[in-house]
Amino acid sequence: MPYTIPLGPIHPAFEEPYKVTLSCKGEVVEDCQVEVGFVMRSIELLAQRRNYIKDLVLVERVCGICSNVHASTFAMAVEKIAGIEVPARARYIRTIVAELERLHSHLLWAGIGAEDIGYHSMFMEIYFLRERVMDILEAISGNRVNYGMITLGGVTRDVTDPKSILAVADEVHKKLEKVVIPIFTKDPTIIDRTKGIGILTKEDALAYGTVGPLARASGIEEDIRESFPYAAYADLGFKRVTLDSCDVMARVVVRALEMLESVRLIEEALKNLPAGPIRTGDVPLEIPAGEATARSEAPRGEVFYYVASNGTDTPARVKIRTPSFVNIPSIRAMVKGQYLADMPLIQASIDPCCSCTDR
Amino acid sequence: MDEVLKELAALIGQKEPQKRVDGYWFEATHLDPVALAEAMLNNQFRLSTTSAIERSDGETDIIYHFVKHELAINVRTTTKKQKLPSIANVLPSANWIEREIQDQYAVTFEGHPDPRPLNRPNEMPVGFFRKEIAEKVMKEREAK
Are the beta carbons of A208 and B92 separated by less than 8 Å? yes
d(CA B16, CA A154): 35
Picking from A1, A19, A23, the residue whose alpha carbon sits closest to that of residue A10 is A19
User: Chains A, B: CB contacts under 8 A, how many?
Assistant: 86
d(CA A232, CA A146): 22
Alpha-carbon separation of residue A12 from A35, A172, A190, A192, A256 (angstroms): 15, 30, 20, 22, 24
Are the beta carbons of B67 and A37 separated by less than 8 Å? no
Longest Cα separation, chain A: 69
Report the SS3 class of residue A316.
Answer: strand
Minimal Cα–Cα distance from A83 to chain B, Å?
10
Cα angle for residues A193, A197, A202 (degrees, 5° grid): 140
> For residue range B54-111, what is the model confidence (pLDDT) as tens digits?
988 888 999 999 988 888 889 888 888 988 999 998 888 899 999 999 999 999 999 9
Residue of B nearest to A18 (CA): B119
Report yes or no: A335 and A33 within 8 Å, Cβ to Cβ. Answer: no
Are the beta carbons of B119 and A37 separated by less than 8 Å? yes
Longest Cα separation, chain B: 58
Chain A contact set for B49 (CB, 8 A)? 304, 306, 319, 321, 325-326
In this predicted complex, what is the ipTM?
0.89
Task: Give the bridge partners for B20, in sequence order.
Answer: B23
Chain B contact set for A292 (CB, 8 A)? 20-22
d(CA A10, CA A16): 7
Report yes or no: A315 and A52 within 8 Å, Cβ to Cβ. Answer: yes
- At B23 the pLDDT is 86
> For residue range A42-78, what is the model confidence (pLDDT) as tens digits?
899 889 889 999 999 999 999 888 889 999 999 999 9
Question: Closest to B118 (Cβ–Cβ): which among A36, A42, A326?
Answer: A36
Are the beta carbons of A209 and B46 separated by less than 8 Å? yes
> For residue range A290-344, what is the model confidence (pLDDT) as tens digits?
899 999 999 999 999 999 999 899 999 999 999 999 999 898 889 888 888 888 8
Burial class (CB in 10 A: 0-12, 13-18, 19+), A55: buried
- Asked if residue A234 has pLDDT above 70, the reply is yes
> For residue range A90-111, what is the model confidence (pLDDT) as tens digits?
999 999 999 999 999 999 988 8
- At B1 the pLDDT is 60
> For residue range A30-44, what is the model confidence (pLDDT) as tens digits?
888 888 888 888 899
CB count within 10 Å of CB A138 equals 12
- At A305 the pLDDT is 93
Chain A contact set for B61 (CB, 8 A)? none
Chain A contact set for B21 (CB, 8 A)? 80, 292
Chain B contact set for A209 (CB, 8 A)? 46-48, 91-93
Picking from A330, A305, A325, the residue whose alpha carbon sits closest to that of residue A207 is A330
- Asked if residue A196 has pLDDT above 80, the reply is yes
d(CA A254, CA A267): 20
Among A38, A303, A306, most B C-beta atoms within 10 A, so best to mutate, is: A306
Are the beta carbons of A326 and B93 separated by less than 8 Å? yes
CA count, 13 A, side-chain hemisphere, A239: 10
- At A54 the pLDDT is 92
Per-residue pLDDT, averaged over A257-276, amounts to 90
Beta-strand runs (E) in chain A: 3-7, 19-25, 28-35, 150-151, 154-155, 290-298, 301-309, 315-321
Chain B contact set for A356 (CB, 8 A)? none
